Amino acid sequence: MKIYLAQQNYHIGNFEENTKKIIGAIQEAKAAGAELVVFSELSICGYPPRDFLEFSDFIDKCYQAIDEIKAHADTIGVIVGAPQRNPKAAGKDLFNAAWLLYEKEVKAVVHKTLLPTYDVFDEYRYFEPGFEWQVVPFKGVNIALTICEDIWNLGDNPLYRICPMDMLIGQHPALMINISASPFDYDHDEDRKEVIRQNVKKYHLPIVYCNAVGSQTEIVFDGGSLVYKANGELVKEMKYFDEDYYLADLVIDHQSSSADVDRSIHLEVFDKDMRVGKMSDPDKVIEYLTRENNIAQIYQALVMGIKDYFAKMGFKKAILGSSGGIDSAVTLAIACEALGKENVMAVLMPSMYSTSHSVSDAEALSRKLGNPYEIIPIKDVYDAFLTALKPVFKDLPFSLAEENIQSRTRGNILMAIANKFGYILLNTSNKSELATGYGTLYGDMAGGLSVLGDVYKMQVYALAKYINRNEEIIPDNIIVKPPSAELRPGQKDSDSLPEYEVLDKVLYQYIERRQGPREIIAMNIDEALVRRILKLVNTNEYKRNQFCPIIRVSTKAFGVGRRVPIVGKYLG
């Protein structure tokens, strides 16, 4: 059977463009001689639609799009993802569904059974789980049609009580098709391939797996759709971080039966732990976080995250504060790659505490990248604040208050320029800083989109080296000099924080792996240091709760994927 995979980038709620894109791929599939074309999960409306699903008008538009697409499913079968209303009063009002369209009709609708509620997922908020499992016949082939999570319930510690494929295999399917919206993180792509391969190994069936691609605010979908033969041979691995199309010509064994299930497979690695960070050896955490393959993927994800956020929101130009430090340098380089150098404004805002090389390094970077930049010293504005506040501050000694006034002065300048010229402010804070509260609310924590908020400091350095892999773009002095906020004379990050190599090791164990203080201390890390770091993380949730959207690249990003109380005493 000739099956066409359409790995496409959708825009949530943009029914006109999504439908146009899907119909275009149907026409291409016909021209290629395909019998069936497969799209990703909730392709009609985009994933994740979240509370848009609570609007009847939104669901009506999904149905209207299906009717329009159905007219093009004449000589070719079409599998698309869209919500379906639940006709029963009991239960949720909607199903997450895969629709088979053929001969201008709806031939079958399959409901997603396993509805994830961990990390960024909240599907049970909206959808009723599927409770009937039937193969879908198409041109004499029984298809086991599933949706994303439905094929992930493998291993010795399964997350769900039901495995849809175990329900379907007794009906003698000859082919598995899975439509998916599986997000990117740097832990995930190899796991995803292995889960799909293990389904093939268990059920002895070929599989066509179509994944979404594109960024939806915080969440990046990396594509990488797959086709496997029944013998476990990989036929095709499609592009990552880009739309792609592929015509699979599969030989289908119509004699496949339930006897083919290999129930002896020991899938030890695929249990609940696969949904968290994998690196348990504390001595290898930094090596793992900064390995070249991870960093290359993070770079691609961040570029896509910026590009899609701006394109789908209708924004054109970005602005950021360029300090001569590593975080702003990496953010600027990635933004120029995503948006074009001419569309990224860098603003250098030296204070009386800024070193001369901070300005010269930032200037050298912008000259190398070719982006526009301005230099606006903040001393006069800062002094005006101090003059206005003198009756209140009186003669109290210099403290954090004066440091934060500098940061908020910079934030005000950036937002003023952004408002005047229609820029969107890119935030440059990294995950290590956000975790420990090392940032100023309404100052350097201001922004419309966080580029590095899910990237640890040691990974930021690795990104800088990756950006410089072919030539020096980020000046070497930016990479090698000790990091500093430069808010007081001689200040260094290490005055307030542990060395980043140690800090990131502890943060990864606590945030990604959810290890408690006892487990982390047992890794031969100083007890007082561990308790101090964990307290910083938990007592600064109020800051992160006011932060802008963060492009997600890890298994546990701050924001929608990590939900902890602001007011809580645990480890605080």
Q: Give tens-digit pLDDT for 279-326.
A: 778 789 999 999 999 999 999 999 999 999 999 999 999 999 999 999
pLDDT tens, position by position, 4-22? 999 999 999 999 999 999 9
Count of positions (residues) in the chain: 572
Q: Which residues pair with 7 in a beta bridge?
A: 244
What's the pLDDT at 273? 46
Q: What is the DSSP letter of 508?
A: I
Percent of the chain's residues with pLDDT above 90: 87
Give the separation between CA 530 and CA 521, rounded to whole angstroms: 7
What's the pLDDT at 253? 82
pLDDT tens, position by position, 451-495? 999 999 999 999 999 999 999 999 999 999 888 877 778 777 777
What's the pLDDT at 571? 85
pLDDT of 244 higher than 60: yes
pLDDT of 274 higher than 50: no
What's the pLDDT at 266? 52
What's the pLDDT at 268? 45
Average pLDDT over residues 122-127: 97
Task: Give, in order, the Cα–Cα distances in Å from 570 to each of 118, 436, 438, 525, 539.
Answer: 21, 15, 20, 20, 9
Instruction: Provide the CATH topology of domain 291-493.
Output: Rossmann fold (3.40.50)
Ranges of each domain in the chain: 2-275, 291-493
- Under DSSP, is residue 448 helix (H, G, I), strand (E, B) or coil? coil
Average pLDDT over residues 125-138: 97
| Nearest of 63, 106, 108 to residue 82 by alpha carbon | 63
Q: Which residues are catalytic?
A: 41, 112, 148
Average pLDDT over residues 51-76: 98
Q: Which residue in the block uniquely carries the two structure tokens 């410089």?
A: 468
Mean pLDDT of the chain: 94
Peptide bond into 48 cis (omega under 30): yes
What's the pLDDT at 261? 65
pLDDT tens, position by position, 247-269? 999 998 876 555 456 655 555 44
What's the pLDDT at 456? 98
524 C-beta neighbours (distance < 10 Å), count: 8
pLDDT of 374 higher than 60: yes
Higher pLDDT, 498 or 339: 339
Average pLDDT over residues 344-355: 91
Give the separation between CA 541 and CA 557, rounded to whole angstroms: 13
Show the tokens assigned to 200.
């093939």
Rounded-to-10 torsion of CA 299, 12, 159, 549: 50
| Nearest of 45, 263, 82 to residue 165 by alpha carbon | 263
Average pLDDT over residues 42-63: 98
Distant-in-sequence contacts of 125-130, Cβ < 8 A, 24+ apart: 126/50, 126/53, 126/54, 126/92, 126/94, 126/96, 127/83, 127/92, 127/94, 127/95, 127/96, 128/86, 128/91, 128/92, 128/93, 128/94, 128/95, 130/95, 130/164
DSSP symbols for 31-65 = HTT-SEEE--TTTTT-S--GGGGG-HHHHHHHHHH
- Determine if residue 420 is left, alpha or beta; phi over 0 gives left, psi from -120 to 50 gives alpha, anything else beta: alpha
Relative orientation angle of helices 400-421 and 379-393, to the nearest 10 degrees? 130
* Confidence band of 193 (pLDDT split at 50, 70, 90): very high
pLDDT of 388 higher than 60: yes
**pTM attached to this predicted model:** 0.95
Show the tokens assigned to 227.
């086709």
Distant-in-sequence contacts of 523-528, Cβ < 8 A, 24+ apart: 523/282, 524/282, 525/282
| Nearest of 219, 292, 243 to residue 40 by alpha carbon | 243
pLDDT of 128 higher than 90: yes
Q: Which CATH superfamily is domain 2-275 in?
A: Carbon-nitrogen hydrolase (3.60.110.10)
pLDDT tens, position by position, 523-540? 999 999 999 999 999 999
Average pLDDT over residues 53-78: 98
pLDDT of 110 higher than 70: yes
- Under DSSP, is residue 186 helix (H, G, I), strand (E, B) or coil? coil
